[in-house]
Amino acid sequence: MRLAVAAAGAVALLVPFAVITAMVVGGVGWLHRVDQDVSVAVHAFSAAHPGLVDFMGVWCLVFDPWTWRAAALGLVVWLARRGARSLAWWVAITMIAGGLLGALLKLLFERERPSFLDPVATAVGYSFPSGHALNNALGAAVVLAVLLPMVRHRPRLRRWLLVAGIVVPALTGAFRIGLGVHYLSDVLAGWLFGLVVVAVTTSAFVARRRRRPALVGANAASPGTGEA
């Protein structure tokens, strides 16, 4: 059941990501207009509220992709010390794969960032998909996947974790648009792809755990594999 859910989730998330990517690459007119209209409207609002711009900048600095990577490293060490080495490997592989694939996609598509005569903020590199949105969705999903089963008997803490796991990536992506460094489609694609990576690695992890008992049983039954 877990394998089926993870695999279905990967497909369900990959399809809209692929659609958005195809429209961005193909230069679909209505998507381009939506991106431009949202960027212009949000930029005008941000330019009129410098205090909000400062807050968004600090927020995006706090929830930078490297913050999530540092948190994941701490989680890996903690899990390894608890003896959950396979889960620690899953966290490490998922975070590394998501970060590398996100950087590769940026280089592959080479989409330029929004451009304004009076920008409220600037950022280097390409625009699609949003690295902040991708890594926030990726990191939050990884943290939730590890911690939620451990607090199943603490419903209040579980609710707070769920709320934080949704609100932080959502606000981070929205603030990247507010700072004028990403289009709406960049952020949507980043959220989706981050969750795709988690779903795919989860499927692989669950499938591997299902195979291991079968392999152990087969080795035990095979002649010459047991200890003398």
pLDDT at 7 over 80: no
Mean of pLDDT values over 208-222:
50
Q: How confident is the model at residue 6, as a pLDDT?
A: 72
State which residues form the domain around 38: 2-111+121-213
Q: Is residue 221 in some structural domain? A: no
Tell me the residue length of the chain: 228
Q: How confident is the model at residue 213, as a pLDDT?
A: 53
Mean of pLDDT values over 92-105:
95
Name the band, by pLDDT with cuts 50, 70 and 90, for residue 226: very low
Q: Is residue 228 in some structural domain? A: no
Mean of pLDDT values over 173-195:
96
The answer to whether residues 197 and 9 touch, using CB atoms and an 8 Å cutoff, is no
Q: How confident is the model at residue 2, as a pLDDT?
A: 67
Q: How confident is the model at residue 1, as a pLDDT?
A: 59
Q: How confident is the model at residue 3, as a pLDDT?
A: 66
Q: Is residue 219 in some structural domain? A: no
Closest by CA position to 67, among listed 157, 145, 131: 131
Q: Is residue 44 in some structural domain? A: yes
Query: Computed from CA positions of residues 178, 179, 182, 186, in that sequence, does the dihedral angle turn out positive or negative?
Result: negative
The answer to whether residues 88 and 76 touch, using CB atoms and an 8 Å cutoff, is yes
The Cβ of residue 215 has, within 10 Å, a number of other Cβ atoms equal to 10
Average pLDDT value over all residues in the chain: 88
Mean of pLDDT values over 61-67:
95
Whole-model pTM: value is 0.87
DSSP string, the chain: -HHHHHHHHHHHHHHHHHHHHHHHHHT-HHHHHHHHHHHHHHHHHHHT-HHHHHHHHHHHHHT-HHHHHHHHHHHHHHHHHTT-HHHHHHHHHHHHHHHHHHHHHHHHH-PPPP--SS-S----S--SS-HHHHHHHHHHHHHHHHHGGGGTT-HHHHHHHHHHHHHHHHHHHHHHHHTTSS-HHHHHHHHHHHHHHHHHHHHHHHHHHHHHHHHHHHHHHSTT-S--
Q: Choose between 153 and 142: higher pLDDT.
A: 142
Q: How confident is the model at residue 211, as a pLDDT?
A: 67
Query: What percentage of the chain exceeds 70 in pLDDT?
Result: 90
What is the Cα–Cα distance from 54 to 175, expressed in whole angstroms?
Answer: 11
Q: Is residue 220 in some structural domain? A: no
Q: Is residue 125 in some structural domain? A: yes
Q: Is residue 180 in some structural domain? A: yes
How many domains, the chain?
A: 1
Distance linking the first and last C-alpha atoms of the chain? 38
pLDDT at 9 over 70: yes
Which residue is it, tokens 């330029």?
112
pLDDT at 225 over 60: no
